[in-house]
A and B are shown apart, each in its own frame.
Chain A
């Protein structure tokens, strides 16, 4: 790997590990210090490697520099502490270098505990995702800003408030106790899923960035699966679901960056390796007593990887959505359920059900109605697509609706 690629690559993989270990050692009171030391480590690397070339084992090099910087920081702190607060001298005078433990096991533990801390219910989901991207995934502020379609100041403020909240709430970087693990794991899974969705359905036009968000969400889920305490059926179900979705990355965006609808995708671009990984984690998701929404969504996603447009496929998807909606309502699930209904039971019934949904501020709602009325009542289809176009927020969605309208106009008025 060329040196100019090496540092950004290592930053993405190692920054979050160093921050997690240091934060766990220092506590959230000194979170910024942990982040500064990690950043400075990469700065030192950039300067030194430019002059001397990259070392043989760059990761070990980074860890050793980070350790030294952390040690210096702790020593400076000790001097300060011993002068101002002599009574704690005995506790603080012995700084053991081994306390900064960058062993693979400690890195994994620290990252896992950091995940639980950041996904604490005291923080808003927006803040959880922001902090996750920064602290757990090593994303730059400008990248996070681009992903959220906002500016750097907003993100900086959000992260600042998030760090403050972690301190105010006295959230510790630790593994939750056995009584609360399930509840806390639920929060972590929600954040991972939001992170994935942010990438998959992002408003950002930057496709490389979007894919990275998805892969980071999957990486975090892998960390949970690697630990015996968090390797639970619902975690495997979530990872399975993400693999099934991710298998269509190359097919769902065309050369111009436009979204290609499921029906129109070139299925030869679907990634079979990811589909089999999804199936593998779905198998691991069985055996629990509790059927989570991730299980249902993973099986829906599985059916979506089946190319054949059979009645069996749509009947299964419909029944899965029927159950999913009973566990947790969401407008997107309601819309997808109605689409599956049209495929399984016919458009006439689906139109009646769709009209009852009444999601009048949602452009996908009118897009669905447009789709259902096409060939049944093309004038109504047209009106609905036009309404969808007026409500669509992103350029991609607007172009998609314009294409639908053009196609329909050519049929109505050839």
Chain B
């Protein structure tokens, strides 16, 4: 069984949601993760709040971001166990981030530390 990172991308990180809306998203995200964990397929997860975000660029130029030039921002990621990339994709389809138009979930296999990858 392999591990896959499901990376949640928001099309526009500058959009401000109401506290009520945030609470609904939070519940949906927790229920989504709980459903994966209930299948014993959850490995770990990390939320990435937009507050205090910085981007360090070429020549150590620091900008508040990742907003502005970079349109897409990462809202967080979870790592799951799956027999195949298709199974990981099925998990990703349930991600509440996808309710937002333009948002995506990127599915990436975690490199095994076997000297090959």
Contacts and interface: CB of A to CB of B under 8 A. Distances in A.
B99 interface: no
Interface stretch (A57-65, A322-330, A392-400): A322-330
B31 A334 contact: no
B40 A329 contact: yes
A325 B31 contact: no
Contacts of B31: 318, 322, 341, 345
A378 interface: no
B106 to A, nearest CB: 21
Given A319-B30, A326-B45, A353 B35 contact: yes
B105 to A, nearest CB: 18
Interface residues of B, number: 12
Contacts of A345: 31
Contacts of B38: 321, 325, 329, 333-334, 337-338, 353, 356-357
B79 to A, nearest CB: 11
Nearest to A356: B39
B34 interface: yes
Interface in B29-79: 30-31, 33-35, 37-40, 42, 45
B108 interface: no
A402 B35 CA distance: 30
A338 B35 CA distance: 8
Given A318-B34, A319-B27, A345-B31, A326 B42 contact: yes
A95 B92 CA distance: 72
Given A319-B27, A326-B45, A337 B34 contact: yes
A321 B39 contact: no
Nearest to B45: A326
A322 B30 contact: yes
16 contacts: A318-B31, A318-B34, A319-B27, A322-B33, A322-B37, A323-B30, A323-B34, A325-B38, A326-B34, A329-B37, A337-B34, A338-B38, A341-B35, A345-B31, A356-B35, A357-B38
Given A318-B34, A353-B35, 10 more contacts: A315-B27, A322-B33, A322-B37, A323-B34, A325-B42, A326-B34, A326-B45, A329-B40, A337-B34, A341-B31
